[in-house]
Structure 1
Amino acid sequence: MKPYSVATLLLLELPLLSLGFTWKFNQTPSQCGQLTISIDGQGKPPYSVLILPSGSTPFPNGTEVRKILEAKSSGNSAEITFQLNYPANSQFVAAVSDSSGFGSGGTSAAAQVTESNDSSCFDPTQPVSPVWVFNLNPPSQIVQCQDTRIWWDPSKVQGEVSFLGVIPGGQSFQIPRGALTTVASQGLGFTWKPNLRSGTILHIVASDDRGTGSGGSTRPTVGDNIQNDNSCLNNSSPSSTAGNPAGGSYPTDSQGNGVHGGGNSDGGSHTNVGAIVGGVIGGVFGLIALVLVLLFFRKRSRGRRSNEKPVDLLNADEGDESHRSELPQYYEPEPFLIPDPTVVGSDRSSDGRPLSGNYSERPSSRSGTPDVTSTSTGTRKVPPRQFKAVNVIQHDDAGPSEQKPPGVEESETIELPPAYTNIRQ
């Protein structure tokens, strides 16, 4: 897109925006009372208003006395004044237009008619009915983006037939009429694909040369199709207006609670820019927060997996000295040293018998130099062992042991049991 295209589009839209207008009720709508609508802005007179019954009749016997009303301004006047021939506690919808097209001023929400002492404008015993009627196929329903056939009895109409779509609190539009076809069981009609979103409340108004609403009206709620088809929807699809509906302030229930509007300058297609910008910013921040949370938990799970070192009990390396070096000082292993024998030999007789007597320890072959032992932690010195003289006495068949001469220091004596060699002989 060229850099000057946006500015050019805005300049092209300025004349269109300047042609918009707003409107409001000058009085509270009341039973059989005079109602004036004042228009402000740059609309194209003459102006007109279409009043449609909304909701059920307030009479217990179900008598409908409300007619579809259409009133116009006089010349270039910016006011429309008419008598509201509706009973108290009933509701209606107003759609205001100028010469640029139907519904160019927007549509009100369902307004409540308040009570008054005047009831001369209607007869509760005389119901009203349209001059001719139209039908829908599928019967009595409108489905989003699904072909709907609107048909009627051609012998009942006069002149050109047209249909209007009115959305309370939103946009009103002319229903496009396609090629007329005749179906044996239905009569004359055309096919229309509603580009309306499901859940939208829609008034369909039929007219011929006898006036707007001469064919009556119906109020279906747009349903959703089974295939969830939304191929016909786009930004220009008629819908309810964001924000306050057109018409200013007026009661919408029997308690007198009102809707505060003020209309919209673009003919009912008002866009709440602040709400859109706030929603977009909130969505962006929400997405960023979600991404940060996911990254945090992902990093945390990776940290846990890196700290967990698997232990293989089957393939453990017993000779791994790196693990031993990590042990505390008091738990370091030391080699086991086999002690030197105390007695290196003994004297026996020629026949193998041990001789009794004193046997002194032979001199140790080990030098007095301290033993040097290598350990896992280094080399350490071991002090020389001190040996004590030991006498070994071998008893001959439980005989007395040899007596030491006086004055000789008594040494440690180890007594062994007799060998009993004489018995074996």
Structure 2
Amino acid sequence: MLRPSFPLLHSLLLLWPLQAHAANFSFSYGAATQCDDFQISWTGGTVPFFMTIIPSFGTPKNISIPNSAFTSQQGKYSTTLAYTAQQNLVVALSDASGFGSGGISPVITVGNSKSGNKCNTTDPGVDFTYSTDSALSQCRTYTFNQFSSAVQPITITGFVPGGDSFVLNPPKGSTTFDWIADIASGTSLAFFAVDSRGRQGGTTEFATVGLSDDKTCLDKNSPASVIDAPKSTATSSTGSDSNGNPTNQDSTSSDAGTIAAVIVGVLVSLGVIGSLFWFYLRRRKGNRGLFGGRFRKQEVDLIHVDSNLPPASALNPYPLYQTQTNGAATAYGTAASAHSASQRGSQYTADYNGGQRPEGTVTSWDQSLTSSAARRKAQQAGVSTYQPPARFILHTDIEDDIPPPAEDEVIELPPQYTERRTPSASGSGTHQENTSSTQHTFPPSDADRKGWRQS
């Protein structure tokens, strides 16, 4: 492995102007795994070429690529990736035109070793330190300070993973430098610094530019991500079988995963369609049960009369009133008939409680509505079908209601005598005529009472 060449990195940064620049050519890279070979390939550019590996919160490594790796405008180079798994880093490819002229990769996360190789993953450390304690926000001041141990002037390089890079040149003699962050919010950004002797100050952590209400610093030259950023070719790993034919393991596993996903999707779709079809058949066949039996509902047939119901002639819509059949039916009756109806209602209740069930009563009509099926179910469930007798309250118009006589009032009627004397022969005809012509009315009129008093 080639040793990092920090003075070469410093020379590249001096060639790089202040404003942000995109890449002149681009490269692709392979799988990044711990202590395994890391390969890059590119097209175009001008020798010499340099590959810079920049870890987050670590020390960049600048590796010089031999000219023999570039022929016919095609270049390919590999080196051992001496970083631990889960380490975040970016790779920059540079040529004679300056740093990052071949582009800067997006953030790469180092994976576990596939070969099982061992290597030294210890960071070489920095030669001086600096601090960036302020918040990184759009169009706000971002301060670099505490770099007194560096040999001034220092050079600070900012870069956007998968995008542009730019160089900041703090003035000589000062240990503090303020920079206006002319980068849009949401952009990932990091910095690394070197001094005038090419010594390393290390890389900041990959950070995201924060929001602010100021956009005056942004323009078309503001560093940002680019569309043609370097791309990874680690989507497949190529090997060979016993016959020497190349095989693609990742492609095979990807195809198997795709097939499995398709099968699962088809099974789920069939299950949904089957469920919908089953519910449709169930609805169409009238809510059939799980075993084909139709759910039974208790229905009351108003056309076919149950044999247990009383005949129609026994049903009386007014059980407390007696209907006359001689053509002189009384709708509501007099006070006496109402009183007798109340007595009959009491009699019906008493007879029912005694075990009898008179037909034509409301109780018998209500009990007769219980269907035979309901009674059978009640008997099977051990539930009694007994229902308490109904009680009635009759309301009449006060003008039509004649109150009954008081119980303590006694009306004494005059005595009625029968004449038992033997009529005479001479007056038999006259007495017979008077007897046959005598008539009494009930109740007696005032004239009758007056005549009785005089007699």
Question: What interval of TM-score do these two structures reach, taking the shorter chain for normalisation?
Answer: 0.3 to 0.5
Between Structure 1 and Structure 2, the one with more helix by share is: 2
Between Structure 1 and Structure 2, the one with more strand by share is: 1
TM-score for the superposition, normalised by structure 2: 0.41
TM-score for the superposition, normalised by structure 1: 0.44
